Structure 1
């Protein structure tokens, strides 16, 4: 072994973020790439709003007096520029691009999505949403990771899930297969060009099945995968103007990966900062503007490349906020919330269920009317063609005719 044990340990630290790479994700030959580009498989893009987005000030019940009674200064009034939808609901004034997509029939809004016995901890509730578990279950795999584990359509082709971030979320971790986290293909490729990683990844495994052999093999496959992603992503460079934010840049990277022909079935992107206990209007308004502008550019990019009809975008947050504003002109941790669906393949659009019932609350919080796992079951079975019951561990009512 040409490297010293000390250099090996250094390499292990440098490579620690790469060890979630599944063994079957190899660089493809030209024939494989062409097969992938000709695939008509559908894909899912999940957008996570971290911090607990206030759904009542994103999708505003502007004709409900109880809303304004609970939020005398925080409630958004119609004259403030609300973007009216259907069923006496309106988008936040900062969501102009999303309103445009709604008017094109590309958006579906689900109200009061949650789960029984809700947890108001950011970390625990996010784990519940990412794992697809009940509130009293502790699961170490994610719903999308278990999808990657399953014998899903297209599994005979080299594919995986990609998270455009520095770290991999629980949602993308399965028992056998895990998604790959990368900020962008070029930087990921640069990491694998580190001389220690290149040297170790070039080592041949001794066949003993040791942890050292596993590291050699994993690093070699990681370097191969990074090279494939980097080379293939050069095929398409977006000409669409995205917001100059991390979220906008991550969506641009996602669009370039999709439009380059990389046939990942699942993509994962996050926008954080929604824990609005203080001065919510300014903070949330900016974030919703970032969300709207980023998704507006992303959808335009996929429309121009002809990829939108095969792409479903799911936007969620770990919980909503309390109905009543607090003393700091913000809102505290709540329960049920909105889920947005976007795409060219939506068969039902607009407001998809009843507005939140502000007269029938649970200790000041919204009661959920739709279990989030019913949304997952619908996406898994009707969009991705997977066995939702096996992946979620139980059967949940699907939303008929949605996708």
Structure 2
């Protein structure tokens, strides 16, 4: 991999922060964007700007083809069986909310039913299920973790029943970087329940290849902005048969087959779940982000990021009184840590920012994880394909400086 060539494709990496070269290590929050993605989005407005699926004029036809071409790229990217199983959304959060409200509208979940999630979830995979339980009278169960952040799969086995309607979990923890044993979890669920399986793949797709058919999940959600695409873009994958059985989340233009004051019928997939004018430019640019990732290759990308993580763990553990959460768990892309008895995570983050180092601090929208470890938050450094070993060295030296200043 030509790392300098890759870095040269990201204009923002050339800037300085507080007089220091930018060291961007907040990729789990959002990744930076390569020129190829930026230019595709810009060119839509320069050359194609028209609404999709609704016009017979040339610009509308061209815009429609570009967006549907992006959908086909995404189909192949996650190996969905059909392109119409790929629904464009604003991101993972909207994708999960789409599922929960579709379940409500369809009467699929009712009082006494059970939904299982895990202790490792982002708020976006907790709150929508709590809201669904409140609407329907269903009960929420939570798979616990151990002190390394590893899930207790015996709890999953013991709590699956005829009442279990949904099991929803992330592929990779955004707070700790832990890669969950998703294939094993799905196997357990299939053997013991008829529950539908929802996978939050937001932190997975930027780091390694995902095959939804091999996983045999029923839904898979992810965001574009974590995989080098624009903000406000994302995907909900769903199996055709299940999507056909659900009522829509949003109503309005584009998602109808026929509409009268007496009755409305819904459009075929995927448009049934895509009411209103979509983020056309963003969706097309999401397809360009797929091209960028596949141009590098998943295996090469993963090898580079694993090398960064291993090196970061080695450098950080050499610092006195530094704790890495989930240190011994299988992880990708993230090192989440605190300096023991030295300030709080935000103090460390502000000092690092003065040195041009961008990390994330706080609870990372995973307050239950922080409560488990009895902490307010962590400092999280998260990696992307453009990060370097030298940047890890700069991070380590910055942490040492923060430690000296806060002691």
Common fold by TM > 0.5: no
Higher normalized contact order (CA 8 Å, seq sep 6+, divided by chain length):
1
Q: What is the TM-score with the length of structure 1 in the denominator?
A: 0.33
Q: Which has more helix, going by share of residues?
A: 2
